[in-house]
Amino acid sequence: MLEEVFQELRAGIEKAIEALRRDLSKVRTGRANAGMLDSIRVDYYGTPTPLQQMANISIPEPRLIAIKAWEKGQTKAIEKALRESDLGINPQVDGELVRIPIPALTEDRRKEMVKLTNKYGEESKVAVRKHRRDANEMLDSLEKDGDVSRDDADRAKKKVEEMVADGTKQVDTVIAAKAKDILEV
């Protein structure tokens, strides 16, 4: 029974860290990254469609993203969606190809990106702490039902705290790596 609580907590912490990595992949660094465009939705015959589902996205150079629509008529819609996004990019249409030059980040913009990264990290830590609360509630109910002794429940709660501390350290490590990547000129 206790092992099930630990497995659920482990899975919850892993999900929180995975969600953090997914969120951080969208945060802009000084280099081109196709993950930056994951949140872009293009009006495809009246339906907001993810950009990846209607075009090839490639990175021919470290500071350039190239997008080639699968349908020739969608180039203008892709350009419009990119201009309206909050990424602060300036797409350039070259025939059927949309080029997005990625300018170097200014110092102020880098600091904003680090703040955003820290915000995502804090949200992830909150999720980890929520999983801790759930695990402790499960342990309390097991103890109350008489399925585990008080000593076993106390030992299990200490293990839960260790697992949460480890999960928080992992979040800090991911955040520090991303912040270093952003601040690198």
Sequence ranges of the domains in the chain: 2-26+106-183, 34-101
| Nearest of 81, 32, 30 to residue 55 by alpha carbon | 81
Q: Is the pTM of this model over 0.75?
A: no
CA distance linking residue 132 with residue 102, whole number of Å:
40
Architecture of the domain defined by 34-101: 2-Layer Sandwich (3.30)
Q: What is the CATH number of domain 2-26+106-183?
A: 1.10.132.20
pLDDT of residue 185: 64
pLDDT of residue 12: 94
Phi, psi torsion values for 92, nearest 5 degrees:
-125, 125
CA distance linking residue 5 with residue 112, whole number of Å:
38
Residue holding tokens 């997914």? Answer: 22
pLDDT of residue 127: 94
pLDDT of residue 124: 95
What is the residue-level pLDDT of the chain in tens, covering all 185 positions?
A: 888 989 999 999 999 999 999 888 877 776 777 877 888 899 888 889 998 889 999 998 888 899 998 888 888 999 888 888 877 778 889 888 999 888 777 888 888 888 989 999 999 999 999 999 999 999 999 889 888 888 988 999 999 999 999 999 999 999 999 888 888 76
